[in-house]
Chains A and B, each alone.
Chain A
Amino acid sequence: MAEPEKKKAELKISGMHCATCAVSVEESLSKIDDVASAQVNFGTEKAHVEFDPSKVSLGTLEKAVKDAGYDVVNSEATIKVGGMMCATCVETIEAALRELPGVVAVTVNLGTEKAYVTYNPSLSGIPDMKKAIEDAGYQYLGIAGEVSEEAEKKARDTDLHEKFVRFMIGFAVSIPLMLAMYVPLPITMQALAYLMLIISTPVFVFVAGPIFKAAWISLSHRALSMDVMYAMGTGVAFVASVMGTFGIILTHEFMFYDTAIMLAAFLMLGRYLETRAKGRTSDAIKKLAGLQVKVATVIRDGTEQEMPVEDVVLGDLVIVKPGAKVPVDGEVVSGESYVNEAMITGEPVPPLKSPGSHVVGGTLNTNSVITIRAEKVGKETVLARIIQMVEDAQGSKPPVQRIADIAVTYFIPVVLLIAAGSFVLWYFVFHETALFALTALISVLVVACPCALGLATPTAVTVGVGRGAELGILIRNGEALEVAENVTTVVFDKTGTLTKGRPEVTDIVPVGIQEATLLALAASVEKDSQHPLAIAVVKAAQERGVKMETATHFDTFGGRGVAGTVLAETVLVGNRAFLNERSVTIPADVDSRITEFEQEGKTAVLVAAGGAISGVIAIADQVKPTTKDAISKLRMMKIHVAMLTGDNRRTAEAIGRQIGIDRVIAEVLPQDKEAEVRALQAKGEIVAFVGDGINDAPALARADVGIAIGSGTDVAIESGDIVLVRGDLIDAVAAIQLSKKVMGRIKGNIFWAFAYNAALIPVAAGILYPSFGITFKPELAALAMAASSVTVVTLSLLLRKYIPEAKKG
């Protein structure tokens, strides 16, 4: 049977204000048939849904979210369309756009020549719409207006403003009311009661309205959310006051209109602060998104044209002026300039880009005009892929959050029980006053805070992953964080990871001639060869400015060496066996140097001219400058370090000694790297494998955490659970440290959230009253509740400034 088709969509949800909201959206989405999974992140306010697009439409998903009482924020774009003549054209374009995945609604206006599209940007973008319009035979004339980031910001601002107004009015009214209870007024108690009722009712409805509305929605879904608790808490206070006013069962003692309003105001204040703080957790992604360029200068039909970056296609020649950002990924075709790549790679020194160099979108051209040929545009660019990856990771939860998620589901029923229980106990068993028992009930309802539990993980993951991106450490998901924290062994691939990955000439030992002459002889013969050792020799010659001669009668001898005629003399370049074969005698002192090189893990290339030895050139794939430091830092963290290589044992051990790795696994064929990782895992090690993704992809996948390293802007983003933008191994250490830090923060958050509730709920229920006479005023309980979730978010925000130990000094 064929696997049912699966598609992932991301919905931006608005209106969620607590962890239980996230759970109810999740439930509502999962209930739909053919939805494979739904995960809602309360911190980023996004739902990640996996569904079968042939059976479920985006509209169905949206309806489910709306039914649960929340809303989906979509992007809107207005596209100018050319070539429409009649109503049929309108139909054609509407149909073409509607067919795109993620498009929710399309209206095409023939008169204004515009298409109004409401869409989900995680599934389709403007370039897809452009293609759809063009494929239908019409012209895409650009965007007249796009509301995506702005829509989100506007929604958040309105929401914040509304909450602000509500709690301010709540305080403005409740404070005078409270004073009125204490200040003797020239009216009877009964008159005051009516006056308060008249003033309070509209204010209470206004301030607490959203709480009741949310509570009603969740009750109608047979769910218990925290809104239900808060509605009960404030509702009980208000209803008791009304009953007191009219003398129904209760007396004037029960007039706490001020408490009811102030309670609602505090709850609103808490939500206001929380929403504000939450908005800041995704600052890192906004910073990355801000790097994207909107307009590009492209040469078309021989003239320079400014156009939206969405319109740049592969192969376009794009002009980048000094001080401007590079709009797309491409190859420099003319001009030379220093390009600042710090925003992508974290590398502070801008490298020089000349024809043939590659540049990536979002980097800053500093000093001179360059022209580039577009190689990657739209979603394919490095920047777009980094943003996508970070966003995905921010939405994922590490397994530790399950504890908190399970706790949240049991939390509310338990709190309701405790609240009711404490009322019953105080009133009926201990015969306290009804006022006292009621106060305990209300306090328990409002002090309980599943919010802090729900926010503990998503806020820390969002901020931590974002911070990682700023440091050049891309973490693919929450699980990677949790595993990286517990790594016991780090296995490094040698070539390209510990070392630079390309052989370089390290020593030149001439015999009876000048160093330059030796190099010239060797390079002249080698310059036509593609062998990595030959390339290293030629490169060394070029760097030293040595003049190369033309070689004739060039011949290669199967990996042992090459021969050629330079300036009428036969030159042999090769290994010891090759020269012995050609009866060239190798003097004892030269021979001992060769052995020395081999012990250092270097390859010795022997050069002979006219039948006599003229020198030795040592070549090695040199260790990156920071490798040794990174290894010693890992050892200091009590993590085992191992090296995996295809080199022979002697060479491998020589390099291991040089950088301080004692566990060397040598002579491993590429296809066996994965088996070596597995062998370590079988011994109970939690293995991180660090490699460059070239011929070690299976090992990266097999390891508990695969750390893929990039080099500069050439990032293999698809491989690895953690991707390091730079090839610097210090970043691998920093990634583990960052994971530990984020996980520590998550565990701390979860602990505090539990501890807070465990400590304050009993106090609110009056447990300290019999021995110490301590109870909670409901207003204080509401304040404490708000403080706890704000604390969790604030602690997570501290991660924004975190610098891993390895990166310091």
Chain B
Amino acid sequence: MAIDPICKMTVDEKTAKFTSDYKGKKYYFCAPGCKKKFDADPAKYA
């Protein structure tokens, strides 16, 4: 299980619909809101 870097929820990698790649690493999000926040400033959360 992955951890959503924004809201710290656990996210199942297999079913996660919202992901972002940052510096070669894949990040999983619970919902589009978190992904948006991450994408705006990935360095802050990665």
A residues within 8 Å of B by Cβ? 83-93, 136-138
The total of Cβ contacts below 8 Å across the A-B interface reads 49
| Interface: B9 (CB within 8 A) | yes
**Which of B4, B6, B31, B36 contacts A83, CB < 8 Å?**
B31
Cα A138 to Cα B35 in complex, Å, equals 12
Closest 8 CB pairs of A and B: A137-B32, A92-B33, A85-B30, A89-B33, A86-B7, A85-B31, A88-B33, A88-B34
Cβ A85 vs Cβ B9 within 8 A: yes
A28 CA / B34 CA spacing, docked (Å): 43
Is the beta-carbon distance between B36 and A137 smaller than 8 angstroms? yes
Measured in the bound complex, the distance between the Cα atoms of B17 and A138 in whole Å is 12
Nearest CB in chain B: distance from A778 CB, A: 65
Q: Which residue of B lies closest to A90 (CB)?
A: B33
Q: Is the CB of B32 within 8 A of A87?
A: no
Give the complex CA separation of A732 and B36 in angstroms. 56
Q: Which residues of B contact A84 (CB under 8 A)?
A: 31, 33
Contact between chains at B7 and A92 (CB < 8 Å): no
Q: Closest Cβ of chain A: how far from B9's Cβ, in Å?
A: 6
Contacts of A89 in B (CB 8 A): 30-34
Taken together as a complex, chains A and B put the C-alpha atoms of A91 and B32 apart, in Å, by: 11
In the complex, A92 Cα to B36 Cα: how many Å? 8
Tell me the minimal C-beta distance from B13 to chain A in angstroms.
15
A91 contacts across to B, CB distance below 8 A: 33
Point out the residues of chain A lying under 8 angstroms from B31, CB to CB.
83-86, 88-89, 137-138
6 more A-B residue pairs beyond the given contacts A85-B30, A85-B34, with a C-beta to C-beta distance below 8 A = A85-B31, A87-B7, A88-B33, A88-B34, A88-B37, A136-B36
Cα separation A197 to B36 with both chains bound (whole Å): 69
| Cβ distance B18 to chain A, nearest Cβ, rounded Å | 8
List residues of chain A with CB within 8 A of the CB of B33.
84-86, 88-93, 136-138
Chain A minimum-CB-distance residue to B32: A137
A92 to B9, CA, bound (A): 17
Q: A89 CA to B18 CA in the complex, in Å?
A: 13
For the complex, what is the distance from the CA of A102 to the CA of B31, rounded to whole Å? 27
B1-46 with Cβ < 8 A to chain A: 4, 6-7, 9, 18, 30-37
The answer on a CB contact under 8 Å between B32 and A86 is no
Q: A86 CA to B6 CA in the complex, in Å? A: 10
A84, A85, A87, A88, most chain B CB atoms within 10 A? A88
A87 and B34 alpha carbons, distance in the complex (Å): 9
Choose among B4, B7, B30, B32 the residue that contacts A138 (Cβ–Cβ < 8 A).
B32
* Nearest-Cβ distance from residue A134 to partner chain B, whole angstroms: 10
Cβ–Cβ contact A92 & B4, under 8 A = no
- When distances are taken between beta carbons in the complex, the residues of chain B under 8 Å from A85 are 7, 9, 30-31, 33-34
Q: How far is the CA of A87 from the CA of B9 in the complex (A)?
A: 11
Contact A83 B34 (CB under 8 A): no
Establish whether residues B34 and A86, one from each chain, have CB atoms under 8 Å apart when the complex forms: yes
**What's the Cα separation between A92 and B31 when bound, in Å?**
10
A87 to B8, CA, bound (A): 11
Query: Which chain A residues border B36 with CB–CB below 8 Å?
Result: 92, 136-137
With A85-B30, A86-B30 already in contact, the answer to whether A137 and B7 are too (CB < 8 A) is no
Contact present for A92 and B30 (CB under 8 Å): no
Interfacial chain A residues near B9, Cβ < 8 Å: 85-86
Nearest neighbor of A93 in chain B, beta-carbon distance: B33
Question: How many Å lie between the Cα of A217 and that of B32 in the bound state?
Answer: 48
Q: How far is the CA of A47 from the CA of B9 in the complex (A)?
A: 48
Chain A CB within 10 A, most for which of B30, B31, B36, B37 = B31
Closest to B36 in A: A92
11 A-B pairs within 8 Å (CB atoms) are namely: A83-B32, A84-B31, A85-B30, A86-B30, A88-B37, A91-B33, A136-B32, A137-B18, A137-B32, A138-B32, A138-B33
CA distance A90 to B33 in the complex (A): 8
Residue numbers in B under 8 Å from A83 (CB-CB): 31-32
Q: How far is the CB of B42 from chain A (nearest CB, A)?
A: 15
Task: Kindly state the separation between the CA atoms of A91 and B33 in the bound complex, as whole angstroms.
Answer: 8
Residues of A within 8 Å of B32, CB to CB, are 83, 89, 92, 136-138
Residue of B nearest to A83 (CB): B31
Q: How far is the CA of A242 from the CA of B34 in the complex (A)?
A: 69
User: How far, in angstroms, from A83 to B35 measured CA to CA in the complex?
Assistant: 13
A86 to B7, CA, bound (A): 7
Instruction: State the CA gap A84–B31 with chains docked (Å).
Output: 7
The complex places the Cα of A472 from the Cα of B30 at a distance, in Å, of 54
Q: Measured between C-beta atoms, what is the minimum distance from A91 to chain B in Å?
A: 7
